[in-house]
Amino acid sequence: MFRSIRNDIKVIFERDPAARSVLEIFLCYPGFHAVRFHHLAHWLWTHDLRVLARFLSHISRTVTGIEIHPGATIGDGFFIDHGMGVVIGETSEIGDNVTLYHGVTLGGTSWNKGKRHPTLEDNVIVGAGAAILGPIRIGHDSKIGSGSVVNKEVPPNSTVVGIPGRVVYREGNVYNDPTGVGGTPDPEGKAIRCLTEQIHALEKRVEELAKRVEEEEHPAAARTGT
């Protein structure tokens, strides 16, 4: 347990430049508190103390604003930054060194029992407000852009943005120009630029046709420039 706590503190120092002291982390980091609550709740869940596990999870949600079902499986080095509004469903599986930002949802799309929540492999980063839905797998070392809605498998080493989420970068191959804020790919921006370029081309063509018609209707004026 103490090794796990030390590792969680180390992870926070590595990934949050705002962290200044161990005491600050113990007192002021809801993500740290939620993970500690979950370790105990998950132990109770796996030892068939289901109601007590759910009650402890409920207390954790009330205190931290982060809801983690006690049935969820979470690896080492898990970090929730800020954390308010994060929801992690019962059959979610989270690998090692995963980072979630506030408002992330790992949700289900079915009322059937069984596997219905996502699996996040190692070193995945999920941006603020993103939703990953259904029993899908997010490959290792992938990044999910803020506000994205992902309902399909994501291969390893990929960057996903948009609604619905789509891969814009994978293992060195850029599928759309990475021209968003902070280097995040922006396929919507690229589409708008393409439309703008087409409009400019059409406007130029219309001007050429109008000039040609003018020359055909008034050839003398066109020759003299009057």
pLDDT tens per residue across span 100-158: 999 999 999 888 888 999 999 999 999 999 999 999 999 999 999 988 999 999 989 88
Q: Tokens 């994978």 — which residue?
A: 170
Cβ–Cβ < 8 Å for 93, 106: no
pLDDT for residue 222 is more than 60:
no
Between 194 and 189, the more confident residue is: 194
Backbone angles phi, psi at 43, to 5 degrees: -60, -45
- CA–CA distance, 6 with 207 (Å, rounded to integer): 70
HSE, side-chain direction, 13 A CA sphere, residue 214: 12
Count of beta carbons in the 10 Å neighbourhood of residue 67: 18
Between 217 and 137, the more confident residue is: 137
